Amino acid sequence: MGLIELVHLGAGAALAAAGWLIPRHIAGARRIAIAALLLDALPLALGAGLLALATGRPVFAGVIVLALGAGFALADHTMRQTLREPVVFSESGLASFARAAARRRGRRIAPAGTERRAL
């Protein structure tokens, strides 16, 4: 393995690490034991490793993990600013649950911003 390949691996690993650290910073995560940190980093490291192995492009895998981490951090920051609570993955299914419940009652829930206002 040449020097350029090692640089690519290092850059991909650094990008993936940034994708893991950004959401931790937004959440204000405390310093914890090494075992817990490794367990926290494992899903992103595994995803980055598998993507780098599948594509043969570690920098690309690092950029993808960074983008996913930054997107999650943005959603988490927005939720913390508006609702004062962190993102919970069950909230993604909440909208479809509310629409299904309204359908059962014979009502319709309009998408946000499209409701009519009484004059």
Residue 31 lies in a domain: yes
Tokens representing 3 are: 């020097």
Residue 110 lies in a domain: no
Residue 38 lies in a domain: yes
CA dist., res. 16 & res. 21, Å (int): 9
Domain limits at 14? Answer: 3-85
Spatial contact of 73 and 28, defined as CB atoms under 8 Å apart: no
What are the Cα distances from residue 67, in Å, to 41, 70, 87, 101?
16, 5, 17, 34
Residue 55 lies in a domain: yes
Q: DSSP alpha helices (H): ranges in the chain?
A: 3-27, 34-55, 58-82, 94-104
How many domains does the structure of the chain reveal?
A: 1
pLDDT tens string 61-119: 999 999 999 999 998 899 888 888 887 765 556 666 666 666 767 666 566 555 555 55
| pLDDT surpassing 90 at residue 47 | yes
Computed over every residue of the chain, the mean pLDDT equals 84
Residue 117 lies in a domain: no
Spatial contact of 109 and 98, defined as CB atoms under 8 Å apart: yes
- Residue 94's contacts (CB-CB under 8 Å, 6 or more residues apart) are none
| pLDDT surpassing 80 at residue 41 | yes
